[in-house]
Structure 1
Amino acid sequence: MSSPTLRVAVVGAGAFGRNHLRVLRELESTGQPVALVAVVDRDPATAQAAAGKYNIPGFASVAELLAANLDIHAACVAVPTIHHAATAAELLPAGIDLLIEKPLAPSLADADAILSLAAQHDRIVQPGHLERFNPAVAAARPHLNRPMFFESHRLSIFTPRSLDVDVVLDLMIHDLDVVLSFVPSPVREVRAVGLPVLSRKVDIANVRLEFENGCIANFTASRVSTEQVRKLRFFQPRQYLSLDFARKDLLLIDVSAAAAAAAAAATLDPAQFAALAAAAAAKGGHPTAGLSLKKLPVEAGEPLRLEIESFLNAVRTRTQPEVTGEAGRAALALALEINEAIAAHARRTGLPL
């Protein structure tokens, strides 16, 4: 039995919205049960340009879209963050399920309003935490074994997009969400510093989190860098994993069982140590004694396509999305707590914000 075709609109045809339009049309063209049926953008020229490219109706407002009675089942919301709640307030009561670009909202009050409306109208809301669908993140999950230290770097070259939010809500929130999904423990303490550089909001920030279970996570995010870096490294007993979001690859450095047992017993003499080091290096290729390095298999896939496919599956099956609205709210709550810590640090030190 074939699945019914889901009719999907894209609201917001800027940099992010254009990618949603592209992926939806690609899915449609490969025979998946989805149809891209409309685009909305408050700039009429932008809306009409996208409409012409994809041969679909274009509208300047959600009200115009709804008045057209196009029988829309779902929408990808890619408007500026400050408009998320207002946009959701029009679409959810109309019976439309939503994939909302991250962050879910600019405030917890707005996030709660979105989630409340979704519950009231029995609609699905999936926050667009794209990196959850990065194949390297999926490959890392089976190897999680009580990670105790994270080091995250997300650096980007300055662009004029997303300047309605600071770098924590713009970039760092990706990594906050991934780490929150990796660590089954509440955050105990937040320390942070940040500075505006080229915009009126914080453009570079460094954060240290401590979780109740003792895990430590350090985050650095910058949107004024000279290079693009998107990496997450983490340590756990006998292992170190290095995840590259951009390259979609995952490296694992493992302490061999023989080396760990010998070190724990402290019985190695120099000759035994040298022999073990040579054997480990020959097997794993790592120059340090007792360590092996291997590149773990990672399935190919575009994160945005995987994210949209996951959302459409949740809509079709009426099941909880892989990234829930509550998860989006949790990432937002932590990001806002970090911003409060940055502001407190600025007041204490006299730094400009």
Structure 2
Amino acid sequence: MKPLRTAIIGTGHLGRIHARLAAEAPHIDLVAIVDVVKEARERVAEETKTRAVADYRELFGEIEAAIVATPTVYHYQVVKDLLEAGIHVLVEKPITTTIDEADELCEIAKQKNLKLQVGHVERFNPGFECVADQLTDIRYLQGTRASGFTFRSTDIGVVMDLMIHDIDIVLSLIKSRVVDVRAFGVAVMGDQEDIAQATIHFANGAIAQLTASRVNYQPARSMQVFTASSFANIDFATRGATTIHPDPRLFTGEFDLASLKPDEVTHYRDHLFETLLVKEQHEPEQTNAIAEEHRDFAEAIRTGREVRVTGKAGRNALAVAEQVLHSIDKHQWDASPLGRRGAMLTPAVPLRRVG
């Protein structure tokens, strides 16, 4: 496969990771590093042995693709300019700041027959990939994503920063319409929510409960999935998974707990996860998720197939994230409608001094 002539736009934390991996990838020809900050672009360009460029528009006609890792507020304009210039785009999540912006970018990509991929990188996590095909007919899902405060991505809250990863995973698994979202959040470090919890109801009856925190003293990235016939625990941090497949007799009613003899009780108690709830540990090959994301992007462009995480998928994750944020803003913390609400616990009625 001919290497894809690509530029990295943005040299923040993720931009530097993208640049390093792109420089090592056989399917990518890293043409340039782009950033408005001279020292930043030159430093990363030197590290990756390519050239530094101040304005991505200088590269029109020279590159086939771009990886956009700028702050979210700049995604829309940068991606729009690239698409209109005929350049395929992989843009970090969230795709844009508004649904209207995301819809417009998806339409431009469609009209110009270009690939628009969104950086929901957990779709490429080996722990998720090794069990995703088994997770059908989902009834209940619980996800937890927590980290310490990194002092990065402070332009967005924890919903757009972390929870949106799990929202994308949930939507990719539960292919049903969202009918209700209930959420609350708390701001700790600044003007954005740093802790959030959301319950999402789907038209098919499935329920997802997601918790995210970026002020946690103990990191966690896991998801528990209950289907109609099995259970899976996905550990995104260790990039592994555990599944449990119940004995069919438990579903048909053939297993009579009350009629068990003492020796049978002892046997099943000591061997529960070998007999009745059969556990399997999955330890997939430990690939780099961002590198696999790059490979998927390049292969989709060269072969014409669809990317794994499309612009539409990114747009849908953004839409649900916005519903979560709306619910957080409306959440009342007191018994009175005149009490406090939202992540900042803001009084519904401005406080006035007396006297």
TM-score by length of 1: 0.90
> Could you list the runs of 5+ residues in structure 1 that have no partner in the other structure?
none
- Give the corresponding residue for 2:353: none
Amino acid at match of 2:65: A
1:126 to 104, 108, 117: 117
- Give the corresponding residue for 1:250: 241
Query: Equivalent pairs: percent with the same residue?
Result: 34
- Does residue 340 of structure 2 align to residue 350 of structure 1? yes
Residue by residue over 1:232-290, the C-alpha shift from the partner in whole angstroms, topping out at 9 and shown as x without a partner, is 001123422110001011111222224444xx1464445447516615744845xxx83
Residue by residue over 1:4-46, the C-alpha shift from the partner in whole angstroms, topping out at 9 and shown as x without a partner, is 221111000110001101111121xxxx232111010111110
Question: Does the 8 A contact of 1:259 with 1:276 survive in 2?
Answer: no
- Give the corresponding residue for 1:109: 100
Cα 1:150–1:33 change in 2 (3 A) is closer
Amino acid at match of 1:44: K
Amino acid at match of 1:4: K
Secondary structure of the 1:202 match is coil
- Give the corresponding residue for 1:337: 323
Secondary structure of the 2:131 match is helix
Residue 324 of structure 1 and its aligned partner are, at CA, apart by 1.1
CA RMSD of aligned residues (A): 2.0
Equivalent residues, number = 339
Residue by residue over 1:299-335, the C-alpha shift from the partner in whole angstroms, topping out at 9 and shown as x without a partner, is 3211111111001111111222111111111000000
- Does residue 42 of structure 2 align to residue 45 of structure 1? no
- Partners in 1 of 2:262 and 2:134 — Cα distance? 28
- Partners in 2 of 1:280 and 1:250 — Cα distance? 24
Cα 1:266–1:318 change in 2 (3 A) is closer
- Give the corresponding residue for 2:27: 33
- Does residue 132 of structure 2 align to residue 141 of structure 1? yes
- Give the corresponding residue for 2:22: 24
Question: Does the 8 A contact of 1:162 with 1:170 survive in 2?
Answer: yes
> Could you list the runs of 5+ residues in structure 2 that have no partner in the other structure?
347-355
- Does residue 29 of structure 2 align to residue 5 of structure 1? no
TM-score by length of 2: 0.90
Amino acid at match of 1:124: K
Residue 219 of structure 1 and its aligned partner are, at CA, apart by 0.5
More helix per residue: 1
Question: Does the 8 A contact of 1:104 with 1:328 survive in 2?
Answer: yes
- Partners in 2 of 1:97 and 1:77 — Cα distance? 11
- Give the corresponding residue for 1:316: 302
Runs of 4+ in 1 over 6 A off after TM superposition: none
- Does residue 161 of structure 2 align to residue 175 of structure 1? no
1:275 to 264, 272, 276: 264
- Partners in 1 of 2:80 and 2:16 — Cα distance? 23
